[in-house]
Structures are given as C-alpha cells and as structure tokens.
Structure 1
C-alpha cells in the first residue's frame, strides 16, 4: 500500500495552489483527507471567483453564483431560514433539502462588501431590483449573509468596506470575527458610522488601504487613532486640481501612528496627505510619494531634514524632485537602502539625477533595484556603481537621448561592469539596431545560471536583434524579452501589467 503524505505536507502543497481553483476542486474528490484540507483554502475568500471571467459566458457565471448562494443558504441557521421563507416570503428558485456537509463560512478570512452585494444582486430578479419589494429582499438577504459570515468565522483577517447598508457592530459574532482584523480596505466616501462601528471592535488593524481619499472622514480618522500600531498606510486616488491638504485631520490622525508606521504609499494620491507629514514617520522602511507642483521651500527643507534611518525603498513620481532632497534622504539611511525608483515626468538634463549614482555607491552597498535617468556625463559613475553594488538585481535605465547610447554602447558598459546578480534589465530610449554587436557580446558573457529578463520600452527591434535574442533565449541566457508601450515606468522589480506589453519575443 502506498504510504500517505503527512497532513501538514498536504496542506502546504495545497496552499501553493491557492489561485488554481480548478485543481483544488478536482482535489476535493480524491478522498476525505484531501477534501478536509482543500476546503479551508477554497473558502478563505469564497466570493472572489463568482464573477464573469473573460473566457466564459454569462450563463456559466450565473450558474456559479447560484451554486455558491445555494451552498451559503444551506449553512443558514433555522432562525434565518424562517425569517427569509416564512416571515418575508422569500421564494428560492432551488430546493435546499439538507444542511451543508461542512461549515464552510467558518473558514472565511477575506470578505468584501461589494462581493456580497454582487452575489445578491445576481440572484434578485431584474424587474424587482428597483422596486420596493426588490430593495427589501436585497437588504434582508444581504443581512442574513453577513450574519452567517460574522457568526461562523472566528477570524476575518481582511475586510474591504465598499458600500454597505448595515451596522457592522450589531451583527451577532462581529465582536469575535473582526476582533483580530489586520487589513482594512476602504474609502473616505464610506459613511463615518461604519468606521465608528468598527472602532467598537477593532484595535489591531495593521494595514489601511484607502482606495479613494479626497476629504476628511471623522469615522476613519478616529479608527486610525485608536489602533495599537499601524504598520502600513496606502492612500490612493484623490487628486483634485488646484487643491492641497484636502484631509488635514487625516494627517493628524496618521501622526498618532508615527513610531509604528513602516510603509507609507501615497504615490497615487495628490493633495490628500501633506508631504510635510512624512517627516514625522522616522521608522519608515518603504516610502512612495508623488510631486504635483513645484515644492515650497518649507516642504523641501522638511524633506531634506527628514531623518528616516531605516529606509529601504524610495519611489518618487511626478514632477522632478530636488536632487538635494533625494541625496539627503539616502544619506541619512543606515546602509540598508535597497531600492530607488524615479518614475513619472522626464526631468531636464539640468536636474542632473545622475549625481545620485556616486551617493548610491557610497551609502547603499545593499542596493537591489535601481530606476533612474542618466546622461552622457553619468556613464563612468554608472559603471562604478554596477561594479560596486554586487547585490543589484534589477535595473531600469532611462536615457536622455538614444544618440548617447549609440555612441557609447550601454551593453559594452554592462559587459565591463559585469553585475553578476543582475536578473532584470529594463531600458528606455534605446534602439537595438544600433546596439546589436554590444548586445551579442554582453549576452555571450552571461551565464545560463543567472537567466536575464530584458525589457525594451517604446522601441522596435531589427531582424538581426531578434535573431540574437532567439539564440540566447534558446540556450537559457535570456529568460524572457518584452517590448513595452512607451511611457511604461513601473519599477523593474515589479511585474509589468499585461496591457503594457506590446510584444513578447
């Protein structure tokens, strides 16, 4: 008889297939042990796969929603069933003959209010959805589903608050299921009462993601203030032209978490969070922000004097920022700085971002990812940096003119510097037609043990370049080669969005 794998190993294997729902559903049918280990994984975020995918028709989607809702309703208590069917005459298009085999909702760790609403919306008859009866049925079915999740799941870890018609704190079991909530995703558009409700339950939220932030919300600000140490705050879309500091009270609330905050991401938000606030977060490890207009002298001086010694990641987007500010932020770190990503608008050559290269070489021996603009006078410092920073894995070079690269040969420079740990090279304003000989020599010097991803932004390649690339992809030196849309400026250590890829060679 073939010995069985230990249960803990099985569980670890299945967790690696968390996004492969088809494989997990097939595994349910193998035996009871596999079934018991797969169900908690499938039901961590049970509503995430309910909607229509690109390669399926609407009927398939509706069928999946019906099956999911039937399963959830079979888990309802007798009291909830009576409330729906007898008291409110809620007619189901299917029969629920027996209770569910497993207590599926108890495994829920991730819940989004929009998913619950969409599941109910897909079930209510279209002609009823806007009528009084339809709205009431929508409300009552949502209510019972929330009661189900909050009463059965003992540890919801991530909660996304979009639109909601109910008072969270009043649901039976909410005090237990949300007590250890660690990630909250929300918007300043949500009514403050929802946040006041959460404030009665949650004190250990570590991550706040505000998807839309264009005004102060007293409920959200209060919820932030009472947490026992927020680690990450991400603030997304909220730009209103001509307005600054749209959320002064939010800035004050964040400063109550100054010593615990490790990650601040306001790169997609302009005006909501003041750049002056950054100076208070002395323990940041990751900082991402956007420059909208010319910075005032006060903001520049505050950023220059910011003492963020543990900073490891710095991303700046938008208008060119003062090199002196960047230099100060980098110099004040303790040698653990690992990533610099300068994206957004193309700076003038007079801004001399290349002057950062000697500073990175001197203060950042652990540098792993670099994105910056370079000019003709920066090539020597670039070569020295590549030779010195041995842990550098990802490079994105944006040059002021293709003529520069044609004249000096970026691939010849890379061959001489020989960055042995380089895994991804991204280049903009480079015609491979002018670099074919250097490209071949560089690839010839590379080892198959360190396969390289090469991405070219905004330019086509010649037939000869394509043949060189094919040869070195075949022998394993090149792992992947992509031509990207012009203007694509994501960091080289991040996965490029598929819609920004013109061609995969």
Structure 2
C-alpha cells in the first residue's frame, strides 16, 4: 500500500472521529498540523517501512519534517541490516549495490557536520595527509546524532569504506584504507557515545586486521550508554585491549540491558573475556533474553550461573554449541518463566531438564541425542506455538507431534541423513515430511520449513 494512501487513510479516520462529535458548533478549519505530536508520530510509524515515500514527506512542511527526522535517524545504517550480514551469498549483488550508493557518502558528510568544531578540525587535519577532505563543521538543522537509537559498528565500517572508495579515483585494496577507517570511526563513535540516546548496540567487525577505537579515551559516555537495552557482541578475531575495554565500559555504564548476546570463537573465551561477560551479566537489573555460543564446560558454568540473579526475569534463553554440565542443566531447569528455549548442538543435555516448571511457547532443540527428543516434546509440547527440531528421518516422531504439540502452528526441521543425497531426493523427502505434518494436523495450516 503506498505510503501517502496509508497516511491519508489514518489521518481521515482520526479527523472523522474528532469531527463527528462537533456537528452543531462550527469551529475553525482543522489541518493535520493541529494534531498532537504523539498522534503524528503514530501516523508516521505506520509508514516508516513504506519505502522511499517517507523521505518525500519531509518536504511537506516544517511540522512534518520535525516529526519524521527522528524516525529516519533512529537507524541511519539500516541499509546494511542484519539480514544482509546473515545471508551474504544470497544478497551479494544487492549488498554490492547498497555498498556503492551515493547516499552513503551523503550520510557520512551529514555525520561529519554534526561533529563539534574542535573534533571536526582535528579529524580534518589527520585525514589531510591521506588526501581526504571533509566539510567544515557547520550548524545543522537538527542534532542528528541525538536521534540515533540503534548502532551497528560493522555497518559504520561499511559506510566509511564505501565513501573512501568513492573519494579515491584509483582502485586501492581495503588494507590501504585502514588508517582512515580507524580515524573516522573513532571520531564518529565519540560523537555517538557523547550525543546520542542508544537503545541497541550491535558490535561486529567487518575488517579482521583493523582494531576498534579505544573507547576509554572517550569522555562522558554515561548519557548514551545508560539507556542501552540491547547489546550484541559478535567477534571472531584475537582479543585486543580495546575489545576488553569496551566490555568493561558496558559493565560499568550499562545496567538496564534486557537482551544480551555473545558469539565468539571457542578459543577466544579467555579468562579476561569470561570475567568481563560475567560482570556485564551481574550488573544488569532485568535480563529477559540471553544468548551465547561456542563455550566449553569450564566457561559455561560461571557464565550460566551468573544468570541466577536474573532467573525470575529471563524469558528467552539460547545456547548454541555449549558444553553443558549437570549443574548447568539443573540451573536452567530453575528458570521458571522461560517462554523461549533454544538448545542448539549442545553437549551434555540431560533428563534433568525434564524436571523444570517452565512451559515455553517456542522450543528449538537441535541435538542428535534422539533418546531425549520425545521426552522433551512430551514435557513441553502442550503450550508450544513454534517447534524447531534437528532429527533423523524419523516418521515416528512426526506421527506423534499432534499428541504432544496440539497448539503448534510453526515447525522448522533440520533433517539429518546418514548418506549424501542428491537434490531431487532431498526435495522428495521434504515433500513427504510436509505430507506427514499435514496429516498430523489435518485442520490446521501449519507453516513448515525444512533444512538439511
């Protein structure tokens, strides 16, 4: 539905209700600008995902502009959204087109104009030796950085490299841009941490050989970080001092995080990283979602046990490639309010989990311990709406699904086979699974997805 049609429809509805009670008394003609700011923001929220239409709405008048700018600058890097990072092959062509958009250059120049004059001059001087010119600091119509609510460090790196490639006429390798990328990212991170109101921070690097800024050199970080509610840390390179400093800053300045996610290589969970993660967890008042990947049993125990203080608040737990101990499983069974549980390729999952009292609506169990699959479905199935399973080609389990999971409406299957099968054979097996699920739930339209 076109953005303007949707906006017109919502506005007419609001005015119809307002005018229907005022038939007798004539009042001055109302305009959309007479609506309270809260109403305008709700209207624009309805069209924020309607493509380019919301951009042209900026030009209607100043009132519209003042209400739309904060929405556009909540996620200025969203063109490099998580879906493009998670499926780089599928979106390779689109990613390439987005990476070389002229708008990337405009975005970076706008951010430069938000820098304090002294920081702008310092950055300009340091970049001049690389023949990079940035615009002088000038008064902007809005403090754009203030509206930033979601920040992805990897997206910032991509925006910078995109602009650098446009500024240089000759084709250079990414390695030659590292000094410029580091200078620009440091200046903009300082801007974001001092002048924004961050809600979500996704920390992942795009360039393996490039270290992150030294966040300890940035003063007055508390205002931006104190409101942080989501922190996602994905890192696959050797741990540096600056990385440890970042994690320490998160534990020192952030205590309202509700969603925490950590994904490192198993070898990178050294003692300093473990302590930093535990300190971050312990400093939070209300963690509702927690996710961690690739940890051994000696790392798992202190981290999972640090969640104990949030056991009442925890609603969603995701463990992937985690070596569980009996003590870990016992503690997980005490998280009585879990509504979503994902156990993905974790060793050590035992029947102790069957003594838990939580009744999740979403359950994902990717395990080759087939002896525990049916007991888990029998235990948790009655409330499930979403079920994810990794199983062998086991018809018996499919036939029992309705008995154990009467309310499920979405099923995702990872099917393991003992032998390599060609594409046609895999598609035949997928079709047979879909027929079995359809037979098990004859009166429901089950959404089924299958991977191999």
Q: Distance in 1 between matches of 2:434 and 2:339?
A: 35
Moved over 4 A (4+): 50-60, 90-97, 125-129, 243-246, 272-275, 351-356, 398-406
Taking a change above 3 Å as real, the CA distance of residues 202 and 329 of structure 1, as seen in their structure-2 partners, is same
Q: Distance in 2 between matches of 1:129 and 1:253?
A: 40
**Residue 314 of structure 2: aligned partner:** 261
Is contact 1:169-1:201 (8 Å) kept? no
For residues 243-280 of structure 1, the C-alpha deviation after alignment (integer angstroms, 9 at most, x for no partner) is 766644323333343232110123xx223555625223
Q: Distance in 1 between matches of 2:142 and 2:57?
A: 16
Q: Distance in 1 between matches of 2:260 and 2:435?
A: 43
Paired residue secondary structure (2:350):
helix
Displacement, 1:60? 8.2
Q: Distance in 1 between matches of 2:390 and 2:62?
A: 53
More helix by share: 2
* Aligned pairs, number: 373
TM-score (structure 1 length as normaliser): 0.63
2:186 to 137, 143, 156: 143
**Residue 321 of structure 2: aligned partner:** 270
**Residue 251 of structure 1: aligned partner:** 304
**Residue 394 of structure 1: aligned partner:** none
Displacement, 1:202? 0.7
Is contact 1:340-1:370 (8 Å) kept? yes
Is contact 2:80-2:95 (8 Å) kept? no
Displacement, 1:291? 4.9
**Residue 250 of structure 2: aligned partner:** 198
Q: Distance in 1 between matches of 2:412 and 2:159?
A: 45
Q: Distance in 2 between matches of 1:401 and 1:136?
A: 53
For residues 385-414 of structure 1, the C-alpha deviation after alignment (integer angstroms, 9 at most, x for no partner) is xxxxxxxxxxxxx999959969xx949x83
1:3 to 19, 31, 49: 31
Taking a change above 3 Å as real, the CA distance of residues 93 and 425 of structure 1, as seen in their structure-2 partners, is same
Q: Distance in 2 between matches of 1:223 and 1:97?
A: 37
**Residue 473 of structure 1: aligned partner:** none
TM-score (structure 2 length as normaliser): 0.70
Q: Distance in 1 between matches of 2:434 and 2:183?
A: 67
Taking a change above 3 Å as real, the CA distance of residues 357 and 147 of structure 1, as seen in their structure-2 partners, is same
In structure 2, stretches of 5+ residues that fail to align are 1-28, 85-90, 206-210, 414-427
In the TM superposition, 1:149-228 aligns within 5 A as: 149-153=192-196, 155-163=197-205, 165-187=212-234, 189=236, 191-212=243-264, 214-215=266-267, 216=269, 217-218=273-274, 219-228=276-285
**Residue 353 of structure 2: aligned partner:** 303
Displacement, 1:149? 1.4
Higher relative contact order (CA 8 A, sep 6+): 2
In structure 1, stretches of 5+ residues that fail to align are 362-366, 374-397, 428-456, 458-486, 490-505
Q: Distance in 2 between matches of 1:88 and 1:401?
A: 59
Taking a change above 3 Å as real, the CA distance of residues 165 and 330 of structure 1, as seen in their structure-2 partners, is closer
Paired residue secondary structure (1:289):
strand
Q: Distance in 1 between matches of 2:280 and 2:109?
A: 36
In the TM superposition, 1:87-126 aligns within 5 A as: 89=128, 92-93=132-133, 95-96=135-136, 98-124=138-164, 125=168
Displacement, 1:286? 1.2
Q: Does 1:65 align with 2:104?
A: yes
Displacement, 1:181? 0.5
Displacement, 1:83? 0.9
Q: Does 1:81 align with 2:111?
A: no
Is contact 1:300-1:325 (8 Å) kept? no
Q: Does 1:425 align with 2:412?
A: no
Q: CA RMSD in A?
A: 3.8
Displacement, 1:346? 2.9
In the TM superposition, 1:392-403 aligns within 5 A as: none
Paired residue secondary structure (1:223):
helix
Taking a change above 3 Å as real, the CA distance of residues 93 and 194 of structure 1, as seen in their structure-2 partners, is closer
